[in-house]
Structures are given as C-alpha cells and as structure tokens.
Amino acid sequence: MIIIDRERCVGCGLCVSDCPADKLTVEDGKAVYTPECIRCGHCVAVCPKSAVSIPEYDMEDVEEYDKDTFNVAPDHFLHAVKFRRSVRNYKEKPVPREVMERILEAGRYTPTAKNRQACRFIVLQEELEAFKAFLWEQMPDLAEAMKETAPHYSMLFKFMYRRQRKDPQDDPLFFNAPACIFIAADNPLDGGLAAANIENMAVAEGAGVLYSGYIQRIVEAWKPLKEWLGLGNTPVACCMLTGYPAVTYRRTAPRKKAEIEWR
C-alpha cells in the first residue's frame, strides 16, 4: 500500500509522529511501513524529501506546498461564508463539464471517517429532465405511501404534484436548475462535509446551489427513484441543485446572534 523510497528517506521520523494509525516506524535510519493502514496520505504530505508514495492513488495528482497560494485571508473567507445564498432562480445556462469537475474535486478531497472516501457523486445534467419527469410520475404513489408514516409530507407532496401538473413551468422542487448533484454515503456526516466544500467551490466558480431536503427525502423514501439513480442501498446524504444564479445579491443577509458558551 505504501512505498518508501529508501534512497530519499532520511529517517527524520516526521511521518511516524504524524501517522494517525501508528503504522510507521523508523528502523536502521529509514521509515518502515506496517500494513493495514487507512491510506490517509499524511506520510506523503509531511515527508520533506518526497520519499513516500501510495501506488493505489494517482500520485501525479499530488501538489507541492506553495505559501503564495495556500493561505486564504481570514476576512475574505468569512465574507464568502456570509455572502453565500441558497439559489432558487437560475440562468438557462448549463454548467460546463470542466467546471463541474473542478467543483466535484472539492468534494473528492473532503475528509471522511477513517479515510473511507466512500462518497458517491451522481451529477444529473443531460438526464435531469428525464429524472424530473420520472419523479413527478411517481409522486402520487409516494405521497400515498407516506400517508401513515409521514402525513405532513404526504399532504405537502400531493400539493406540489397538483401545482406542477396545473402549470408544468411552475417548478416547486427543482426551480429550473440546470444540474442536480446527489451525494450518497453510508456516513451522513461524510456527505454533509463534502456538500459544504462543493458549495464553496461552486460559488468560487460563479455558480450557486440549493440544498434540497425535499428531493433528498423523496428519493430516500422511494425505492424506484433510488434504483433510477443506481444508488442501491446507499443512503442519500444530500441533494444539491446547482447552476448559475439569475439574481444578484448586493449584500450579506442578517443573522441572529450565535448561541455560544465560553467555558
């Protein structure tokens, strides 16, 4: 799993002290790897001599530290967090494939529990209209099935269905977004963390997202929709409508005071 170039290794022990799984030691002045690690890559990242590699991964993807591009000014980052908005009005403009790939890179590099990297990303853009048609077709049966277990959602989804059928241009679920990203993960926290990074990257690319709890709940509750997406039994952690905003926000929105305990 881990290859240590003995010619490059200087036995400094940095990888040993930084390994979260305690799978590295220094013997005879060289780092030695013990199998069954979690392949987190800390040893690759911390080595001052680039002596460590993980053949299972694309090592060409590894970037060297650059102090000029690494740090984000705290004020700029906080401003970006404050300025983000949930987008419900999108331009009729698709997100180019290369832009979407960069957005998803932020999800791919998000930390996961035990470094499982088990999040799946399903991007609907070309097939989004087909999925929407199938979802609306399934909505009456879904709403009826939820009548006993979730009566509030049953009534709400029936209302949405009637509204959409009355005016197909009225889109109470998808808001005419040009793309939809589903994140599937056994650990919902993994999916949520990935979603946050994906949104930040989308905003950096000039796009925006809307976290759709309704669509997430609909898909998770209705097996035919999960089968359509090819998700099997993997839970849907998040659904994100994605596209270029058709509205311009001039300032941040106010928020109530944070509830913080300093102890």
Please write the tens of the pLDDT for every residue from 82-128: 999 999 999 999 999 999 999 999 999 999 999 999 999 999 999 99
Measuring CA to CA, which residue among 221, 224, 237 is closest to residue 134? 224
List 24's β-bridge partners, or say none.
Answer: 33
Question: What's the CA gap between 94 and 171, in Å, rounded?
Answer: 17
Question: What's the CA gap between 75 and 59, in Å, rounded?
Answer: 33
Question: What's the CA gap between 103 and 125, in Å, rounded?
Answer: 14
Split at pLDDT 50, 70, 90, the class of 140 is very high
Which pTM does this prediction carry? 0.90
Judged against a pLDDT cut of 90, whether residue 46 lies above it is answered with yes
How does the average pLDDT of the chain come out, rounded? 94
Split at pLDDT 50, 70, 90, the class of 258 is very high
Pair of tokens at residue 155: 């009534």
Question: What's the CA gap between 59 and 56, in Å, rounded?
Answer: 9
pLDDT number for residue 1: 81
For residues 187 and 148, is the Cβ–Cβ distance under 8 A?
no
The pLDDT > 70 percentage for the chain reads 100
Question: What's the CA gap between 227 and 219, in Å, rounded?
Answer: 9
List 27's β-bridge partners, or say none.
Answer: 30
Split at pLDDT 50, 70, 90, the class of 130 is very high
Mean pLDDT of 46-54: 95
The pLDDT > 90 percentage for the chain reads 90
pLDDT number for residue 66: 85
Question: What's the CA gap between 171 and 143, in Å, rounded?
Answer: 18
Judged against a pLDDT cut of 90, whether residue 70 lies above it is answered with no
Judged against a pLDDT cut of 90, whether residue 68 lies above it is answered with no
Measuring CA to CA, which residue among 233, 226, 246, 133 is closest to residue 182? 226
